[in-house]
Amino acid sequence: MDLKNKVVLITGTSTGIGRAAALAFAKKGAKLALVSRNKEKNNQLMGEIHASGGTSIFIPTDVSDLGNVKHAIAETLNRYGRLDIAINNAGIEGTPRVKAADYDIEVWDRLMDVNLKGVWLCIKYQLQTMMQNGGGRIINISSLAGLRGGDAGVAYHASKFGVIGLTKTIALEYADKNIRVNAICPAVIETPMAERAFSDPVRMKDAINMHPVGRFGRVNEVVGAIMWLASSDADFITGAAIPVDGGAGV
C-alpha cells in the first residue's frame, strides 16, 4: 500500500485496535502520532516502533478536552508538517447490560464526551489541517453497536450510532476537498475491552455464538480494513460504515 512517509494520527493507542494499527502503519513506513492517555503503554509502543526502524511521537491526550485535542494536532504539525491520515479510535465502554431507565447520568456524560464529542473534536481540527494539505483520509471506529440495538448499554449504542452520523455528514461536506471520511464497525474483537465485557464464561459463549463464523474477530482483521481505507485503493469510497463482524450483523 502507498503509505510510506504518510503522517498518520491515531487516537487510543494504548491497547487493542489502536495499538495494532500503529504497529501496522509503522511497518509500512508511515510516520505516527500516537494520541492517547497512558504514558507508560505508549512509551512501550514507541520503543517497539523505533526498534523496528519506524518513526513515532506520543502526545498525551484526553480526546474529550478541546485544549488537549488542539495541542495534539499542533504537535503533529510541529513534528511532521502535515497530516495525511487520521484514525479516531479512542473510546470507552460505559456500563453494558444496564437498561435505559437505570443508566447513570454521569456515565452517560463521560461516555458521550469520549466516544462522540471526542471524535467530533478530533475531526474538527483534522479537517482544518487536511484542507491545507490538499486532502486526507479520516477513519472513525464505530461498532456493530452503531448499526443495531443490543445490550451494550444505551449510551454506548447512541454514541456509536452518532459516530456513523458524523461520518456520513462530514463525508458529504468535504467530498469536494479530497477528504474521504469512513467508519469501521467491528463486532466483538479480541481486545482488553472485550475481555472485560465477556469475562463470564456463559456470556463469552453467548457472544461467540452471536458471530456466524464461530469466533471473535482479531485486531489484525480490523486493522486490515483500516489500512485499505487509508490507501489510494479506496479513493472512491466515502461516507461508508463498513462492518467487520464475522456475519453478526447480517
Calpha distance 232→246 (Å, rounded): 25
| Long-range CB contacts for residues 229-233, cutoff 8 Å, separation at least 24 | 229/137, 229/139, 229/180, 229/182, 229/184, 230/1, 230/3, 230/6, 230/8, 230/25, 230/85, 230/87, 230/137, 230/139, 231/1, 231/2, 231/3, 232/2, 233/1
Burial-class residue 100 by CB neighbours within 10 Å (0-12, 13-18, 19+): exposed
E-only strand ranges, the chain: 7-11, 31-36, 55-60, 85-88, 136-141, 179-186, 241-244
Active-site residue identified among 80, 103, 125, 156: 156
Check: CB of residue 32 under 8 Å from CB of residue 59. no
Whose cell is 498525551? That residue is 60
Check: CB of residue 141 under 8 Å from CB of residue 82. no
Tell me if residue 99 falls in helix, strand or coil.
Answer: coil
Q: Which three cell numbers stand for residue 174?
A: 468535504
**Is 156 known to be catalytic?**
yes
For the annotated catalytic residues, the residue numbers are: 156
